[in-house]
Amino acid sequence: MNTVNTVSQLRNLNRIRRISRLMDTAFKIPVLGVKVGWDPVLGLIPGLGDLIATAISAYVIVLAARFRLPRGILAQMVFNIGLEAVVGTVPLVGDLFDAFYKSNVRNLKLLEAHLQSESATLEEVDGLDLNSVRNGEVYT
């Protein structure tokens, strides 16, 4: 793998990490101690909010596809986003589901697991050790 490609992949990986964090774990609810992101907050906007959240999650999949993931992993990522999009359309219940399912973090875990087994060069240059997701939270 050449250096330019490695730098580009690392940039994409870090972009995915930031977006996943913003969408799924950006805020901590003080009393409950639960981390949520913009995904369930956007879901509170009738109709448009879920569409915006799904579009952002689809962008994450586009970025992840640049790593030439196997079809099975991409299919699981699409399923995660699709499930959250469908259930997210149900008022209130969907927003609670969005807060706990965290499809972007799930997809980040799938990507990082694949990269750990397939990309030794990227693992060497990534100071975060390709383990930015622990216990459903993104560490950046």
Residue-wise pLDDT tens digits, 5-62:
888 889 999 999 999 999 999 999 899 888 999 999 998 888 799 999 999 999 999 9
Q: How far apart are CA 139 and CA 137, in angstroms?
A: 6
- Amino acid 137: pLDDT: 57
Band of residue 124 on the pLDDT scale cut at 50, 70, 90: low
Best CA proximity match to 69, nearest among 21, 4, 119:
119
Higher pLDDT, 1 or 34: 34
**Spatial distance between the Cα atoms of 64 and 79, rounded to a whole number of angstroms:** 14
How far are the Cα atoms of 10, 15, 76, 118 from residue 123, in angstroms, in the given order?
A: 9, 16, 23, 9
What is the CA angle 31-99-138, rounded to 5?
Answer: 90
- Running DSSP on this structure, what letter comes out for residue 138? E
**In angstroms, rounded to a whole number, what is the distance separating the alpha carbons of residues 87 and 100?**
12
CA 66, CA 59: separation in Å to the nearest integer? 11
Give me the pLDDT at residue 1, please.
46
